[in-house]
């Protein structure tokens, strides 16, 4: 249910960047898989909260970023299937997280209308 709070934050961020009289066509969000966000729930809350605002009718584009680690033993970078944090090449557990924790508004497209 944390998608509701995330949707509220996305709307606040987007509203802060809308020029006077402008409308938003789409909002592109990147979210790391470690956040365990359900895209359908996030889209539902976004649509609900956007009603009556300059974001009403805007598309919420969600890009899920895979969990990727770099192995300290062999130097290999690989994407992981959660929750196993081991190198896919050598099996070492000595890995550093490279991606998967992202959660940000990447860009906002303003409507020309």
Q: Which domain range does residue 17 map to?
A: 3-66+100-110
pLDDT of 107: 97
DSSP percent split of the chain into helix, strand, coil, nearest 5: 25, 30, 40
pLDDT of 1: 64
CA 70 to chain centre: 21
pLDDT of 12: 97
The structure tokens listed for 27 are 């909002």
pLDDT of 82: 65
Residue 27 lies in a domain: yes
Residue 80 lies in a domain: no
Domain count, the chain: 1
Residue 57 lies in a domain: yes
Residue 20 lies in a domain: yes
Q: Look at residues 77, 87, 81 and name the one whose alpha carbon lies nearest to residue 66.
A: 81
Residue 88 lies in a domain: no
| Separation between Cα atoms, residue 73 and residue 113, nearest integer Å | 55
pLDDT of 74: 95
CATH number for the domain that contains residue 10: 3.30.2320.50
Residue 90 lies in a domain: no
Please state, in angstroms and as integers, the Cα–Cα distance from residue 32 to each residue in 19, 27, 102, following that order.
Answer: 29, 16, 5
pLDDT averaged over consecutive 10-residue blocks of the chain (113 residues)? 94 94 94 95 98 96 96 94 84 94 96 75
| Separation between Cα atoms, residue 48 and residue 59, nearest integer Å | 12
Residue 92 lies in a domain: no
Q: In terms of DSSP bridges, do strands 68-71 and 24-32 run parallel, antiparallel, or are they unpaired?
A: unpaired
pLDDT of 81: 79
Query: What is the DSSP annotation of 9-42?
Result: HHHHHHHHTPPTT--EEEEEEEEEGGG---HHHH
Residue 44 lies in a domain: yes
């Amino acid at each position: 249910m944390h998608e509701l709070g995330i949707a509220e934050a996305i709307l606040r961020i987007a509203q802060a960047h809308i020029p006077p009289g402008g409308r938003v066509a789409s909002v592109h969000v990147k979210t790391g898989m470690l956040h365990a966000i359900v895209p359908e729930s996030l889209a539902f809350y976004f649509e609900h909260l956007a009603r009556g605002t300059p974001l009403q009718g805007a598309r919420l584009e969600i890009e899920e970023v895979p969990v990727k680690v770099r192995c300290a033993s062999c130097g290999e970078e690989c994407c992981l299937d959660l929750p196993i944090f081991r190198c896919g090449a050598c099996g070492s557990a000595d890995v550093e997280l490279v991606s998967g924790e992202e959660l940000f508004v990447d860009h906002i497209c303003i409507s020309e209308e």
